[in-house]
Amino acid sequence: MPAEQNLNIVPFISVENMMDLVLSTGTETFLKELAAYVEEDFRRWDLFDKVARIASHSRDGVIELMPASDGALYAFKYVNGHPKNTKSGRQTVTAFGVLSDVDSGYPLLLSEMTILTALRTAATSAVAAKHLAPKGAKTMALIGNGAQSEFQALAFRSLLGIENLRLYDIDPAATERCRRNLSHLGLNITACRSAEEAVEGAQIITTATADKQNATILSDNMIGPGVHINAVGGDCPGKTELHRDILLRSSIFVEYPPQTRVEGEIQQLAPDHPVTELWKVITGQTTGRESDTQITLFDSVGFATEDFSALRYVYDKLNGSTRFEKLDLLADPDEPRDLFGMLLRRQAAAQNSPEMITA
Ligand SMILES: NC(=O)c1ccc[n+]([C@@H]2O[C@H](COP(=O)([O-])OP(=O)(O)OC[C@H]3O[C@@H](n4cnc5c(N)ncnc54)[C@H](O)[C@@H]3O)[C@@H](O)[C@H]2O)c1
């Protein structure tokens, strides 16, 4: 927690602050520590006030609000998803979020979350894979080599010990960028010419493509026994990545069923198709992987508790740090009910110094 400060000030983590925080921690250490927070909050699942995110869909994208609270802290994230954006130099996904104190309702932190979302998504994928992927998996196919991809690769390296990475993207320039960005880490990286080639010999398959349609990134014949699929890119109604037949052969694990039934790969299945909630595997209430031949699928859509965990982690990391800006966000009159008086005092001050308020 940052040192005591004026009530009007809310610590703000800019993109620059976030990058410095991640780099000074070490990206892989950051992912590991963040994964521990994500996992801890999955263990506290019952405590949370949970709701499927509130999505506003438009022709080319979606804007979503994602709230969650454990009774002591409250968090929400604003996030968009616009696959067409990269063509005009924008990101597909951008985000920011707030962490608040439930007792007073006062925000404790306002943070960029574009980078933090990529980190928390990768950390969550790795937490799920730790419980579901075949033991000793060393090779991962990574299909869709956009903004999320390097974070996924790093999380699977640091939390699961992945050594071999098989990349594929319909845009070879994206694969080349991903390969180059990861080249210093000692991973054995193969750039592939098709998704079929990428999945060859992979024990884990991550899909993180962006397309506003029901795509078929993986077809049934590409999935052998024993594989773990980490499906990240299908996260909206009408936006999926896997052929339905794969789902029918898989044991499916999800974050929060009311949200995943609408947004995840399982929107292709009957509303009562059996799925297992990830938190039950993490707490040991149910088994994850049961055999070497079982196909496990983490149908990831991204749930609000993961953003809560990410903001909680960043807030804890701020303790004693100056790596934030002081945002004058909350009106703080001398006497709490004299909000209008504060405006009058500002007006009186401006009469003496007209340059204070410019039209
Ligand atoms: N589950 C979650 O928690 C979560 C979190 C963040 C993002 N996402 C989703 O993950 C996806 C990737 O996000 P991003 O920020 O990396 O997007 P991005 O636009 O930066 O990258 C997507 C990549 O997918 C590639 N692609 C598109 N169609 C493809 C195909 N048929 N085969 C192979 N590659 C293809 C594109 O060329 C691009 O390089 C998006 O769909 C996003 O909505 C999910």
Residue range 9-115+307-344, CATH number: 3.30.1780.10
State the catalytic residues: 235
Q: How far is ligand 1, taken at its centre, from the CA of residue 5, in Å?
A: 40
Q: How far is ligand 1, taken at its centre, from the CA of residue 92, in Å?
A: 8
Q: How far is ligand 1, taken at its centre, from the CA of residue 146, in Å?
A: 6
Query: Please, which residues have CB within 8 angstroms of residue 33's CB and are 6 or more apart in sequence?
Result: 25, 313
Across the chain, mean pLDDT equals 96
CB of 93 within 6 A of ligand 1: the answer is yes
Whether residue 353 has pLDDT greater than 90: no
CB of 217 within 6 A of ligand 1: the answer is yes
CB of 139 within 6 A of ligand 1: the answer is no
Name the residue at shortest CA distance from atom 38 of ligand 1: 146
Categorize the per-residue pLDDT at 4 as very low, low, confident or very high, splitting at 50, 70 and 90.
Answer: low
pLDDT in tens, 78-101: 999 999 999 999 999 999 999 999
pLDDT in tens, 51-79: 999 999 999 999 999 999 999 999 999 99
Name the residue at shortest CA distance from atom 3 of ligand 1: 302
| Helix ranges (DSSP H) in the chain | 15-25, 27-43, 114-132, 149-160, 172-182, 195-199, 244-249, 257-263, 278-282, 304-317, 339-352
Q: Are 277 and 287 in contact (CB under 8 A)?
A: no
Instruction: Tell me the domain boundaries of the chain.
Output: 9-115+307-344, 132-303
Give the C-alpha separation, 218 to 195, whole Å.
7
Hey, CA dihedral for 29, 30, 31, 35, is it positive or negative?
A: positive
pLDDT in tens, 8-41: 999 999 999 999 999 999 999 999 999 999 999 9
pLDDT in tens, 278-334: 999 999 999 999 999 999 999 999 999 999 999 999 999 998 889 999 999 999 999
pLDDT of residue 194: 98
Identity (one letter) of the amino acid at 181? N
Task: Map residue 111 onto helix, strand or coil.
Answer: strand
DSSP 148: T
Whether residue 208 has pLDDT greater than 80: yes
pLDDT of residue 359: 61
**DSSP letter string over 221-247?**
GG--TT-EEEE-S--BTTBEEE-HHHH
Q: How far is ligand 1, taken at its centre, from the CA of residue 83, in Å?
A: 7
The CATH homologous superfamily for domain 132-303 is NAD(P)-binding Rossmann-like Domain (3.40.50.720)
Name the residue at shortest CA distance from atom 15 of ligand 1: 147
CB of 92 within 6 A of ligand 1: the answer is yes
Name the residue at shortest CA distance from atom 11 of ligand 1: 233
